[in-house]
Chain A
Amino acid sequence: MSGRAAIVHDRSLEEYGFGEDHPFNPLRIRLTLELCDALGLLDGYDFLAPEPVSEEELTSVHTLTYVRMVQQASRGAGDPERLLDYGLGTPDNPLFAGMHEACSRVVGGTVLACRLVAAGEAEHAMCISGGLHHALRSKASGFCVYNDAAVAIALLKRERPGIRVAYVDTDAHHGDGVQWMFYEDPEVLTVSMHESGRYLFPGTGGVDEKGRGAGAGYSVNVPLEPFTGDDSWIECFEAVVPEVLRAFGPDLIVSQNGCDGHALDPLTHLCATTRLYEHIPRRMHELAHELCGGRWVALGGGGYDHWRVVPRAWSALWAAVSHRPLPERLPEGWLLEHAQHSPVELPRLMRDDPADYPPVPRIKEIEAANRRAAEAALKTVLHLIRR
């Protein structure tokens, strides 16, 4: 039985962004949704528009002082020096007018998606503007001002006491913000697979970060070597994610689907292709049906090759969420419309051709190191997780 999927979106969510020249650019969202539409994947679906979350809801995970700082920054007030202490006004997180409202609305999107799924009004839901996983309690970080997934999980816990939520993050960067916010909480399992923090931002996400106190075992980290490709990534995903999710027994799964691990992404050093970004949503979907009656909320995240990677990867995500097969070709109309603006040549096929992505040198060492990381991750947490 496959139930109804929901897509949470509104044009106003695209106001969250840091300008034309910044990697975190709402163009990614626009191109994705236009591609989904042109592929016919949105036929029969209306966007469900979210309300912004309230200040009170934001403070379920953020400090009031920090929210006040964002509000000041949002209306062009506030002492720039002081704002810097909160990560606001840096090159990563430049100030823009209305940033508080825009980000509160993105958080509202993820909250709405989670509420719909938890209440059974939708079986699965996607909010592609969500996935701002680096935002910390009192600090903007890595393009993220408020932590939508963390707020949504905290509100689910408040509204449905005892609910167990699994958060699975396959962005190329470690899902640090969400991890730290639930680091001592055994009711929220956070799983992050990412490029090793040895070089890449934020630098955390080692296997030993397993949670603390009652939450020990409920933070799972699988750091992958730079230049990891589809095969090794999928192998590690399959070794770790199903097993820890089964051990935990979630009532609802939230996935952060950053697609910045693609070989073309300018900010990271991984070598995945669209194969990975088709595999992960398909498996999250299956696991949600196996473990929690299909209750699955899919979010976006990183992804900085705006033209070639993000629209295809996230269309594949929506296809999985909405139980539709992924078409083979990009529609001529979409290509025609965007070819003139795109600074790079646009792909014509939805799936990458493996021949365009030859294996990297040292692949055996990379695969062996990743296998060790996956084994170590399981060994670190599995004996601590209780249903």
Chain B
Amino acid sequence: MTQLRFHKGLYNPDAIAAAVAAFEPFATFERSEEPEHLVVSLACTQPGEDEASLAGEFSNYVLGATVDRVKPEGQKS
């Protein structure tokens, strides 16, 4: 099982939820919370899968989804 910690001030919680939904066919997830981080533990469901790479792709997905959800400065309310 690989644990990823996403800082609450940096990563969008909706992006994490979207990533969990996208990677659900490939891994099982456990989510928990720390004072400053959202913690996601994932384990591959398919044998022979490289869990480190899957975790890396998951992290990349969350990062990309967070960037996509950031409003341009001019649109901030």
Does chain A bind chain B? no
